[in-house]
Amino acid sequence: MSALRVLLDTSYLYQLMKTAAGFTDADDLILSNPDLTVFVSAVSFWEMKIKFQTYHPSGERKSAFDPKVVIRILEEQEVTFLPIAVAHAATALETPIAHKDPFDEMLLAQAQCEGLRLLTVDRNLIGHPLAI
């Protein structure tokens, strides 16, 4: 069996961060699988930063997760950080997405370029050929 290489979607990172410790036992089990190589994109931190620095009319942040804290937690895990490359930015998706979210599109472009699968809980992405 060949190793599975996955890129964590921002929605998956948010799901992981909802627990106080960052990762549940089930997440640790998945992410520590020796046949799994996990990547986290700079795109996700860019998206997290924008949401962390943006507020709802109520005054509440659009995201409770400071990307610096998320990075510190992920540095303790077996993940590889994936920078944004020019090739990623210039890549057209083989299977376009209908909802036109630029962060989702860039994550999928990275997955396509790097031979990765996008691990997501985002219902807008489930069913895309690159998503699992």
Q: Is residue 127 part of a domain?
A: no
Q: Is residue 33 part of a domain?
A: yes
* Structure confidence at residue 2 (pLDDT): 60
Q: How far apart are CA 63 and CA 67, in angstroms?
A: 10
Tell me: the pLDDT tens digits for 7-33?
999 988 888 887 655 556 666 666 677
Average pLDDT of the residues in 76-104 = 92
Q: Is residue 45 part of a domain?
A: yes
Tell me: the pLDDT tens digits for 71-86?
998 888 888 999 999 9
Average pLDDT of the residues in 96-124 = 93
pLDDT at 46 over 70: yes
CATH number at residue 91: 3.40.50.1010
- The DSSP output letter for 32 is T
Q: Is residue 91 part of a domain?
A: yes
Tokens matching residue 128: 């895309």
Total domain count, the chain = 1
Residue 18: domain span:
4-119
